[in-house]
Structure 1
Amino acid sequence: MKRTSTALLLTLALATPAMAQDSISKVNGSVQANAGQTYGDLETVNGSINIEDNATTREASTVNGGISVGNGAKTAGLETVNGGIKAGAKVQVDGDVETVNGGIFFDRGSRIRDDISTVNGGIGLVGTDVGGGIETVSGDITVGVDSHVKGGIKVEKPKGNFNFHANKRPPRIVIGPNAVVEGPLVFEREVVLYVHASAKTGAITGATAKRFDTATAPQD
């Protein structure tokens, strides 16, 4: 029994470092997920997170820093407070994508299982499928060419003293060529809304769509 217990403890001791390497957690400093490798959660407070091409991770989150995601990477969710999120092509997110002060961009062939949300920051999609909806308060939104959003769009009315900090310009919302937005488009504050002639949307509340048939929407 003693020999068995000793062997078990030795096995656990040897296994623990390998298991710990699966996740990376820091207070100060950037976090790197190397190309093609698999990781657990990636967390930092003051620093950026870089997920290279074809890496696989669980959730990636930071407070003060941006998140970059390479082509073909897979993650369980992306979240930052002060920083943007920029993803390449064919990225798969099995959760939410969230920022407070920072933009979000996903390139062609990407898939996001749940919602995208910002408070202050633009959202841009090209050829991307979103299983949930898109929400913002003061950010611009571009559901670009061939993108598909299944849960609608909501631009919330600023609350409390938010107007003191918010951009006074109305958010610009563009639904691009061959894009589809299922569900309602609800605008609780003034926006400028452009919808391409080839795009399809759900019911629109709080704004009047301006139709366009060029490759890009007119400049305000």
Structure 2
Amino acid sequence: MQNKWAVSLAIWVSMTLLLASPMLWADDQDISKVNGAIRVESGRHVGSVETVNGSIDLGDAVHAEDIETVSGSIDIGHDSTVGDINTVNGSVTLDRNTKADSVETVNGRVRLEEHVEVRGDVTNVNGGIALAKGARIGGQIENVNGKIELDGGMVGNGIKTTNSDIEIGADSRVDGGIHVEKPNGVNFFSTRRKPRITIGPNAVVNGTLKFDREVELRISDSAKVGKIVGATPIRE
């Protein structure tokens, strides 16, 4: 009887360890959990990665399809390629040279490191969005609250916000203009604070800069911008 229980215990432990091991995930296999974090080891090729309550951490040089969680951060290692990235409550960080189709979060910051490429839009509601040098977004940046920063990055289809400060740093480029919308009823109390919009040295903003609310707009003398509607710039 003891031997029988010992064998059963050994089998149970072995199966538990095997199921927990990410190295068992076959190439192109989807990874899905309800509760708990997911870690994909560097160099793996997998399908979609999804959990409900837990963070998702992809190593370096990982190829994956869509990445999604409800409550948890998403971190993608350098030189990786993924599809759409989506979380509700959690930050998103893409390390250098990584490529993604789009990034969306509701509550959490988004950080794109050097030479990251997002083919579509980067959106959130409450949280900052930051692009390091050489990072590129093919679509639009959109949020409601949280600073938007470009440090030598590029945006292909404009920036839209309601309450955020925007800093277009030196040598950054935005095609498609900038639009600061008027707050709706939900954001009524945010109207007392004027967003600060800064266009740095040698930065380029092509398209209309449209402001539906009062802002503080500062533009470097060496920057190039399109038509300005709704604000008087301070030249520096």
| Selected match of 1:176 from 177, 194, 200 | 200
* 2:48 matched residue in structure 1: 23
CA distance in 1, matches of 2:103, 2:171: 23
Give the Å deviation of 1:50. 0.2
1:76-87 equivalence runs, <5 A: 76-87=101-112
Change (3 A) 1:191 1:71: same
1:191 aligns with 2:215: yes
> 1:154 corresponds to which residue?
179
Alignment partners' CA distance in 1, 2:90 and 2:191 = 21
Q: Choose the corresponding residue for 1:51, options 72, 76, 99.
A: 76
Runs (4 or more) in structure 1 with deviation over 4 Å come to none
Of residues 164, 178, 182 in structure 2, which corresponds to 1:139? 164
Q: What is the CA–CA distance in structure 2 between the aligned matches of 1:17 and 1:146, rounded to whole Å?
A: 41
Aligned residue runs from structure 1 range 1-220, under 5 A: 18-20=28-30, 21-164=46-189, 166=190, 168-212=192-236
Q: Give SS of 1:173's match.
A: strand
Q: Match of 1:162, SS?
A: helix
Question: Which letter maps to 1:188?
Answer: D
RMSD of equivalent CA atoms: 1.4
Query: Deviation of residue 16 (structure 1)?
Result: 8.3
Give the distance between the partners of 1:65 and 1:174, measured in 2 at CA.
Answer: 27
- Contact 2:208–2:229, Cα closer than 8 Å, also in 1: yes
When the two structures are aligned, how many residues end up with a matched partner? 197
Deviation at 1:167, TM superposition (A): 6.4
CA distance in 2, matches of 1:39, 1:17: 10
| C-alpha separation in 1, matches of 2:65 and 2:191 | 37
1:11 aligns with none
CA distance in 2, matches of 1:143, 1:163: 26
| Greater Cα radius of gyration, structure 1 or 2 | 2
Q: Distance in 2 between matches of 1:51 and 1:168?
A: 37
Take 2:108 and 2:91, find their aligned partners in 1: how far apart are those partners? 4
Quote the offset at 1:18 in angstroms: 3.4
Q: SS of 1:44's equivalent?
A: strand
Question: Equivalents in 1 of 2:215, 2:176: separation in Å?
Answer: 19
CA distance in 2, matches of 1:129, 1:202: 16
* Contiguous gaps of at least 5 residues in structure 2: 1-24, 31-45
**2:38 aligned residue:** none
